[in-house]
Amino acid sequence: MVSAIVLAYNRCAEVLITIQKLKDYRQSFPYELEIIVVDNASVDDTTAQVQNKHPDVVLITKPKNNGIAGWNEGFKIARHKYFLVLDDDSHINSGLAEAVRYMNQHESTGILAFSIVDEQLKGDPFLRPEDAYQDLENLTGFVGCGALIRKEVYFKIGGYSEWVYLYTHEYEYGIRCLDAGYAIQNFEKAIVVHRTSAINRSKARMRTYSTRNEMGIVYKYFATNRLGYLFRVLFNNLKFIKREGLKTGYYVLSGAYEFIKLKSRLRHVPVSASVQVFYANHYWSTKPVWTNLKKRFSLGNNAKSK
């Protein structure tokens, strides 16, 4: 029923934990649970260790790292109806059977976004609302370290896009999912623990790629007012300076520069007008830049008039 697909890169110790957690979970899981590990050209001993300690796991070792598109190799061979996507440092804690039953009963739901927590089962400190999703009723994407994707969606729209490479792939995939007529829904009963390894993570890379890719999504998929939305993405990302400091401004501008270099390679394939409006209204960086300031100004004026 479920194929768990884990993308691994230079986190051998973490992926071994994830595999064991999946095997432990499988003992009480009422459906079939296949485990697939894609080693995305790690330079540590990930492949050797997985082969040695878990010879029963389906292992794909790639000769070249192509970022998040590495998951596609697992998607291609997965046997079951649903894909459980996991990072090498994340694992399912509870609620997967309930998620499967929900998907079986709601054929129009293409992706279920799971609740992502830390090891104390509290909110993941690596994921703030503006870095993930704010409106839990109107999702434009999901958090990639824990979600359930209907295999049928993969057959209709393909896998993760190579051009994204890192970060925001869940929203690039999300806009295509929505355009294919599927809903993306939050499923709080399913909990994924994100152990959040520091290996391979940096603020510079996250902000650079996130800005680049969010601009790329607008440029590639929006049909109207692309320039206006590109400015929204840029300036909304620059707001992180207040929280993270001036270096973040440099990373965001670097991301904009990387987008300029990328855009000639992006074929324009607009989504429907309704999907563009939905995405623009519900994804945080395509919302109006001055919304919060307008609200504060309005509240201030109302207070003065009383």
pLDDT digits (tens, 9 = 90+) for 133-154: 556 677 999 999 999 999 999 9
Report which secondary-structure segment, H or E, holds 228.
helix 226-238
Alpha carbons 306 and 224: distance in angstroms, whole number: 41
Measured in whole angstroms, the distance separating CA 304 from the mean position of its chain's CA atoms is 43
Strands 146-150 and 109-117: antiparallel
**Backbone phi, then psi, for 247, in 5-degree steps?**
-60, -35
Q: What is the pTM of this model?
A: 0.91
Span 68-72, mean pLDDT? 97
Which of the two residues, 123 and 255, has the higher pLDDT score?
255
Provide the residue ranges of all domains of the chain, joining segments of one domain with +: 2-194, 203-295
pLDDT digits (tens, 9 = 90+) for 191-226: 999 987 666 568 899 999 999 999 999 999 999 999
Answer whether residue 107 shows pLDDT above 80: yes
Answer whether residue 106 shows pLDDT above 50: yes
Predicted pLDDT at 203: 87
Predicted pLDDT at 138: 77
Q: Which residues contact 48 (CB under 8 A, 6 or more apart)?
A: none
Superfamily covering domain 2-194:
Spore Coat Polysaccharide Biosynthesis Protein SpsA; Chain A (3.90.550.10)
Three-class DSSP category at 84: strand
Alpha carbons 161 and 247: distance in angstroms, whole number: 29
Three-class DSSP category at 46: helix
